[in-house]
């Protein structure tokens, strides 16, 4: 286990389980602890450029439903709170897949909601697999730099429908208030669920890197 920890600390371009390097080219984003990819790379991913090196992928849209319904990256899945991300991880509890499936998270600008839920997924993944570190259900996860706004501006033809509804759009102020309140309650509920499942563990004396 200590060897795995040392390897991942010394080789920064390895995916979360330390098994290999990232399959997508990364860029230097605003969140230094996360691996970011450009809108161009995600466009190529959708077009099949990386089909020979990955088994599959999923775009995780962390925006609120009214934003998602107003326009999203083709094939994206709308998971906009911690409970939905938790379901994504726990549904793989009994599965040991060797397939190389990757996740790409984003929100409107990939500045807050997307990074927050990506970190939630990785934290939960680490805790659920603490007994077999560094195994992860989702070892390869990315953040779309610039979020949906940047992608839409550059690749409208790969959006469904081809439109963009900002989070702060005046026509959706009621929905915004609703989901912000819900988000707080979901977060509180998730913390309680994690305590009841005894997922919070002591990893000492070794400190397990999240990434």
Question: What is the tens place of the pLDDT at every residue in 24-74?
Answer: 999 999 999 999 999 999 999 999 999 999 999 999 999 999 999 999 999
Q: What is the pLDDT of residue 110?
A: 98
| Residue 7 covered by a domain | no
| Residue 84 covered by a domain | yes
pLDDT band at residue 195 under the 50/70/90 scheme: low
Active-site annotation, residues? 107
| Residue 209 covered by a domain | no
Domain that holds residue 106: 17-196
Alpha carbons within 13 A on the beta-carbon side of 153: 11
| Residue 68 covered by a domain | yes
Nearest 5°: the CA angle 53, 54, 58 is 150
| Residue 8 covered by a domain | no
Q: What is the pLDDT of residue 205?
A: 38
Q: What is the pLDDT of residue 200?
A: 43
Q: What is the mean pLDDT of residues 66-86?
A: 97
Q: What is the pLDDT of residue 183?
A: 77
Q: Is the pLDDT of residue 19 over 60?
A: yes
Q: What is the pLDDT of residue 17?
A: 95
| Residue 12 covered by a domain | no
DSSP state of 172: G
| Residue 5 covered by a domain | no
Integer Cα distance of 78 and 187 in angstroms: 17
Tokens of 206: 């070794």
| Residue 211 covered by a domain | no
SS3 3: helix
pLDDT band at residue 111 under the 50/70/90 scheme: very high
Number of domains the chain is built from:
1
Q: What is the CATH number of the domain that holds 162?
A: 3.40.250.10
Q: What is the mean pLDDT of residues 167-192?
A: 80
Q: Is the pLDDT of residue 84 over 60?
A: yes
Give me the chain's average pLDDT, please: 87
Q: What is the pLDDT of residue 1?
A: 55
């Amino acid at each position: 286990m200590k060897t795995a920890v040392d390897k991942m600390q010394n080789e920064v371009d390895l995916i979360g389980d330390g098994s290999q390097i990232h399959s997508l080219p990364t860029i230097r984003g605003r969140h230094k602890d996360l691996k970011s990819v450009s809108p161009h790379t995600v466009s190529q991913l959708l077009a099949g450029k990386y089909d020979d090196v990955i088994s599959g992928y999923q775009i995780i849209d962390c925006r609120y439903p009214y934003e998602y319904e107003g326009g999203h990256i083709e094939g994206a899945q709308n998971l906009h709170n911690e409970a939905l991300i938790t379901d994504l991880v726990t549904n793989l509890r009994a599965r040991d897949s060797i397939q190389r499936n990757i996740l790409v998270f984003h929100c409107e600008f990939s500045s807050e909601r997307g990074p927050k839920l990506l970190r939630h997924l990785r934290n939960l993944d680490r805790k659920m697999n603490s007994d077999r570190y560094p195994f992860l259900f989702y070892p390869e996860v990315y953040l779309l730099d610039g979020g949906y706004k940047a992608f839409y501006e550059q690749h409208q033809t790969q959006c469904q429908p081809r439109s963009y509804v900002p989070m702060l759009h005046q026509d959706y102020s009621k929905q915004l208030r609703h989901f912000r309140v819900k988000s707080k309650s979901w977060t509180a509920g998730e913390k309680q669920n994690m305590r009841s499942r005894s997922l919070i563990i002591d990893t000492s004396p070794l400190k397990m890197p999240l990434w």
